[in-house]
Amino acid sequence: MRLLFGSCFTLMLAAVIGLGATWLTVTHGVAFGSLTIGVWTAWPKSGSVDIDPYARATIARTGELPVGTGDGVAFYARTDDAGNNFDGRCTFTISGMTPAARYWTLTLYDLDGRLVANTIDRHGFTSAEIVRDAEGRFVISVAPQARPGNWLPTGGIERFVLVWRLYDTPIGVATRTTKEGPMPAIVRKACS
């Protein structure tokens, strides 16, 4: 009787631990070999055959196609430099340097990877269309209300993700130091 109870308990606990761990890792996007520069994190190996099993499980669940290593690399940010979560009701400014790349794009998504509806139908910027000052620097305002210059609307949603994709870039699996890739800084301003 004791043996039966014990084995039933063990099997149930094992199922809870095993499936729970799988669910946690897959929904939170656990992947190895990440490359973090400031608040920006990329998984260059996810775009190659060296992708780890956790990243494979994650992309199979979400249904996305990762950017291939010979194509470019995608950096994800969920917080500003001070660690504040991206809140669509706040204004964030993005400024600074970008790593060497032939083109880059910056796109704003909700947590499920969908674009966010807004009045001017803008979901991001490319390196070619960004407005720069005389020295080539740029400032992007991510804000719910219209801003002068480069305004990226948040649509006022609660949480969002920024994805910076670099195309035709030397940044990749071999990149180790942060010196090779300066990424833009993100600072939170006022919240409405």
Partner 1 sequence: MIRSLLWILGAILLGGIVHLSTVLVLPQAAAQDAYSRLVPLTTVNAMVPLAAPTAEASIMPFMDPAFSAAVCRYDLSSGSIKLNAPLSQAYTSVTFYTRNSVAYYAIDDRAAGRRAIELDLMTPEQHAQVPEEEDVTAADRLIIESPTTTGLIVLRALAPEPGLLAMAHRALAGAQCHIGPVQ
Q: Is 188 in the site for partner 1 (CB under 8 A)?
A: no
The amino acid at residue 62 is: T
Question: Which bin fits 16, alpha (ψ -120 to 50), beta or left (φ > 0)?
Answer: alpha
DSSP-derived pairing of the beta strands 35-37 and 40-42: antiparallel
Residue 78: burial class (beta carbons within 10 Å; 0-12, 13-18, 19+): middle
The structure tokens listed for 68 are 């291939």
Q: In angstroms, give the least distance from the CB of 178 to partner 1.
A: 24
In the range 87-116, which residues lie near partner 1 by CB under 8 A? 102-103, 105, 107, 109, 112-116
The structure tokens listed for 143 are 């804000």
Binding residue for partner 1 (CB under 8 A) from 27, 36, 126, 192? 126
Cβ atoms < 10 Å from Cβ of 181? 24
Q: Is 167 in the site for partner 1 (CB under 8 A)?
A: yes
Binding residue for partner 1 (CB under 8 A) from 29, 34, 41, 56? 56
Which chain residues interact with partner 1 by CB under 8 A? 6, 9-11, 13-19, 21-22, 25-26, 46-49, 51, 53-54, 56-57, 59-72, 74, 102-103, 105, 107, 109, 112-118, 123-124, 126-129, 155, 163, 165, 167-168
